[in-house]
């Protein structure tokens, strides 16, 4: 048998493919660790509330813990302002190393923090401070990881590359849900309260070490290398204030759509099923896990379809779908029937997967290269701080105020409708945009 030699183009393509896979693995592992760390707080929110915010008034401890969950979002814009410019000036890789180290350290410290019974008011104060730092790290991670992998991908595979970020985040939430389910199933309530909830927090230091080791070996992106060349030759394009402002408004809209729907899906749904519907913790967690499996598997499919058909049809469909279907989803969940609940969660899984992939790829495509790290981080995180982070807290507060278990759907539908209108008028098709410009 005669083996035909590979052409130069084939050899380059194979080399580029191997390099992209290497980068995808490195970024994906770190991204998995970061979102696992952030997610487990939501899964143990009720326990954390009782330990750090003890109260005899019904619902106060849970509301307090969800308020601290929101603190992790309020600090995201600060993380974006601090870390975003580092990505534009020193490279995308630098931010990825900072965030994975900071996230691992703060999460471990939360797991080691004594409760209110041991150190009094210092316990909730320190918890808030650590959540604030944790939020800053996440504020730099999501956009930086997305920029790194999308800038490293061929032009016709950018959404597929973006799905690496969203799928590994989904897998992290899934793993966090499964770990929470195992802990709640295998330990008594007293054991979970005393020490069981701390296990995944403390274990995160090991994942952080692995992720840091891998990320330190990465080079920077081809787009950043081109940006550096233009700076050296004084040929960098000027970005007008109008372009910056328009990109910020667009990114705020699709990030809000993604953030609010995501945290309803991966954080609030579990709380709603246990606190409002009355399911046991293990049952609620396993139902959420099943939906997260579907969510994770759908992400790469969304990426491939978007690379073929564009961004605008997908993000608008998701916004309209969440507007129309938010209330039916809550009706299904509030039946208490397992099949109906799963059906509602699966509807959310599909729509949230679309918003997730579109969020990552659009963060790269709507911003010029020279301001991309800063602009994407700020646009994304301001939206999450103002609208997504408070989402679970608002949902619980609405139910307590109205005693209507379906009322949280109104917040999700309202945000989605506004985002649909903004994106309909402002978002162009960006699939074929040159992301090296600016």
For the chain, the straight-line distance linking the first and the last C-alpha, in angstroms and rounded, comes to: 51
Q: Output 260 or 58, whichever has higher pLDDT.
A: 260
Tokens encoding 285:
């967690």
In a domain, 229, yes or no: no
In a domain, 262, yes or no: yes
Q: What is the DSSP string of 3-23?
A: PPPPPHHHHHHHHHHHHHHHH
DSSP 311: S
For residue 45, what are the domain limits?
Answer: 20-221+240-426
CA atoms within 13 A on the CB side of 414: 10
pLDDT at 2: 46
Rounded-to-integer distance, Cα 95 and Cα 86, Å: 7
Q: Which residues contact 330 (CB under 8 A, 6 or more apart)?
A: 344, 405, 406, 408, 409
In a domain, 13, yes or no: no
pLDDT at 1: 42
In a domain, 233, yes or no: no
Q: Which residues contact 90 (CB under 8 A, 6 or more apart)?
A: none
The helix or strand, by DSSP H or E, that contains position 398, with its residue range, turns out to be: helix 391-402
CA torsion through residues 179, 330, 414, 69, sign:
negative
pLDDT at 3 over 80: no
Q: Name the band, by pLDDT with cuts 50, 70 and 90, for residue 5.
A: very low
Full-model pTM: 0.85
pLDDT at 17: 67
Rounded-to-integer distance, Cα 359 and Cα 379, Å: 11
Domain CATH number, residue 248? 1.20.1250.20
pLDDT at 4: 45
Distance of CA 4 to the CA centre of its chain: 46
Which residue, among 323, 393, 394, has the nearest Cα to 355 in the 3D structure? 323
Rounded-to-integer distance, Cα 279 and Cα 122, Å: 33
In a domain, 121, yes or no: yes
pLDDT at 229 over 80: yes
Which residue, among 270, 268, 276, 271, has the nearest Cα to 404 in the 3D structure? 276
Q: What is the pLDDT of residues 169-196, one digit of tens each?
A: 889 888 887 788 788 888 888 898 889 9
User: Which CB contacts under 8 angstroms, 24+ apart, belong to 15-23?
Assistant: 16/154, 19/152, 20/152, 20/153, 20/154, 20/161, 23/148, 23/149, 23/152, 23/218
In a domain, 228, yes or no: no
Mean of the pLDDT values across residues 260-281?
Answer: 90
Q: What is the pLDDT of residues 118-168, one digit of tens each?
A: 998 888 888 888 988 988 888 888 888 899 999 999 999 999 999 999 999
pLDDT at 405: 93
Give the number of domains in the chain.
Answer: 1
Rounded-to-integer distance, Cα 68 and Cα 131, Å: 7
**What is the C-alpha R_g of the chain?**
21
Q: Output 267 or 428, whichever has higher pLDDT.
A: 428
In a domain, 434, yes or no: no
- Angle of helix 60-74 relative to helix 76-89, nearest 10 degrees, comes to 20
What is the residue whose two structure tokens read 């709380």?
271
Does residue 38 sit in helix, strand or coil? helix
The CA-based angle 131-56-389, given to 5 degrees, is: 30
Q: What is the pLDDT of residues 52-82, one digit of tens each?
A: 877 665 566 666 766 676 677 778 888 888 9
Mean pLDDT of the chain: 87
């Amino acid at each position: 048998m005669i083996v035909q030699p590979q052409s130069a183009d084939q050899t380059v393509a194979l080399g580029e493919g191997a390099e992209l896979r290497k980068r995808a693995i490195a970024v994906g592992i770190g991204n998995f660790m970061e979102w696992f760390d952030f997610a487990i707080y939501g899964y143990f929110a009720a326990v954390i509330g009782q330990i750090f915010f003890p109260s005899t008034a019904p619902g106060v401890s849970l509301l307090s813990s969800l308020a601290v969950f929101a603190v992790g979002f309020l600090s995201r814009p600060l993380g974006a302002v601090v870390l975003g410019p580092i990505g534009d000036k020193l490279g995308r890789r630098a931010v990825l190393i900072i965030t994975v180290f900071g996230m691992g350290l703060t999460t471990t410290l939360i797991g080691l923090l004594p409760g209110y019974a041991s150190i009094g008011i210092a316990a909730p104060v320190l918890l808030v401070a650590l959540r604030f730092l944790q939020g800053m790290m996440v504020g730099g991670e999501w956009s930086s990881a997305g920029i790194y992998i999308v800038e490293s991908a061929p032009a016709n595979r950018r959404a597929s590359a973006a799905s690496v970020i969203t799928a590994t985040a989904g897998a992290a939430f899934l793993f966090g849900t499964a770990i929470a389910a195992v802990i709640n199933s295998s330990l008594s309530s007293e054991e979970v309260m005393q020490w069981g909830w701390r296990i995944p927090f403390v274990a995160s230091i090991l994942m952080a070490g692995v992720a840091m080791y891998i990320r330190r070996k990465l080079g920077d992106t081809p787009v950043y290398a081109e940006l550096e060349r233009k700076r050296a030759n004084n040929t960098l394009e000027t970005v007008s204030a109008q372009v910056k402002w328009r990109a910020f408004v667009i990114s705020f809209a699709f990030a809000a759509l993604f953030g609010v729907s995501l945290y309803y899906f991966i954080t609030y749904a579990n709380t709603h099923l246990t606190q409002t519907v009355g399911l046991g913790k293990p049952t609620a967690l396993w139902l959420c896990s099943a939906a997260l499996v579907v969510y994770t598997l759908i992400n790469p499919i969304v990426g491939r379809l978007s690379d073929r058909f564009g961004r605008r049809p997908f993000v608008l469909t998701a916004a309209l779908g969440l507007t129309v279907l938010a209330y039916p989803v809550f009706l299904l969940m509030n039946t208490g029937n397992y099949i109906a609940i799963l059906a509602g969660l699966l509807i959310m899984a599909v729509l949230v997967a679309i918003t997730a992939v579109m969020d990552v790829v659009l963060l790269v495509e709507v911003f010029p290269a020279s301001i991309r790290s800063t602009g994407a981080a700020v646009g994304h995180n301001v939206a999450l701080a103002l609208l997504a982070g408070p989402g679970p807290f608002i949902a619980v507060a609405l139910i307590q105020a109205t005693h209507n278990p379906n009322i949280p759907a109104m917040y999700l539908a309202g945000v989605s409708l506004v985002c649909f209108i903004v994106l309909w008028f402002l978002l162009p098709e960006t699939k074929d945009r040159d992301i090296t410009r600016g």
